[in-house]
Amino acid sequence: ESHVTVPQLGAMFKGDRSRKENLVEYGFRLPSALDNRPLRFDEFEALMPRTVFVSATPADYEREHSSSIVDQVVRPTGLVDPEIEVRPVSTQVDDLMSEARARAASGERVLVTTLTKRMAEDLCDYLNDHDIRVRYLHSDIDTVERVEILSDLRKGVFDVLVGINLLREGLDLPEVSLVAVLDADKEGFLRSTRSLIQTVGRAARNLNGRA
């Protein structure tokens, strides 16, 4: 999607430049190595006079450079957006447990996002102590194990998956009918408007999707 692709276009040149400048500075490459490079963002822009940006959550660049925006009202799946409900922070864990049990009884799954890795681990332990089948995902878990955890969630080996920033784009799990964003009133890493929309969208693959 464009909100991911556009920043990468600029990052290609900067990353390449940074790496080669180190090599040239310490004598591993000749200065001419800097000439073999990706396009700078302004150079790339000059080659894209007509561009269609496609994104569920367009960034500021796309909005500022678009003469018209076309909204996709109907999803390819035929499902509507998840219903969003805001609940008090004071009872969020109790709410989560009752919702998780109800979803598990219906054969559905739950994704929970927390502010920190420590909170994810503590919540996981707490839910386990209350007989809820739960696992957690964070950056220390390698890609292979992550795929296995997501596969087990879909198979029903456990019902609730707790994570931080790993529960956003690219997770298309039709079994997930509830996304719970804990401490949603607090600022934190990946708690921007676009990130929250992407997080809530994880429940958009299920007919009973809610957040």
pLDDT for the residue 167: 60
For residue 76, what are the CA distances in angstroms to 41, 56, 144? 32, 13, 29
Question: For the structural domain made of 91-203, what CATH number should be given?
Answer: 3.40.50.300
| 123: amino acid identity, one letter | L
Query: Closest Cα to residue 137, out of 90, 67, 202?
Result: 202
Say how far apart CA 189 and CA 17 lie, in whole Å. Answer: 28
Buried-state track 54-85, b at ≥16 Cβ within 10 A, e below 16: eeebbbeebeeeeeeeeeeeeeeeebeebeee
Q: List, for residues 154-205, the tens digit of each pLDDT value.
A: 999 999 999 876 566 667 889 999 999 998 888 776 778 888 888 888 888 8
Q: Where are the domains of the chain?
A: 2-65, 91-203
Q: List, for residues 63-74, the tens digit of each pLDDT value.
A: 898 888 888 777
Say how far apart CA 171 and CA 83 lie, in whole Å. Answer: 18
Q: Judge whether 168 and 190 are in contact, CB under 8 Å.
A: yes
Position with higher pLDDT, 139 vs 182? 182
Q: Judge whether 148 and 80 are in contact, CB under 8 Å.
A: no
Q: List, for residues 56-98, the tens digit of each pLDDT value.
A: 888 889 989 888 888 877 777 788 889 999 999 999 999 999 9
pLDDT for the residue 57: 84
pTM of the model as a whole: 0.75
Average per-residue pLDDT for the chain: 89
Token pair recorded at residue 49 = 């006079």
Residue 16 has pLDDT above 80, yes or no: yes
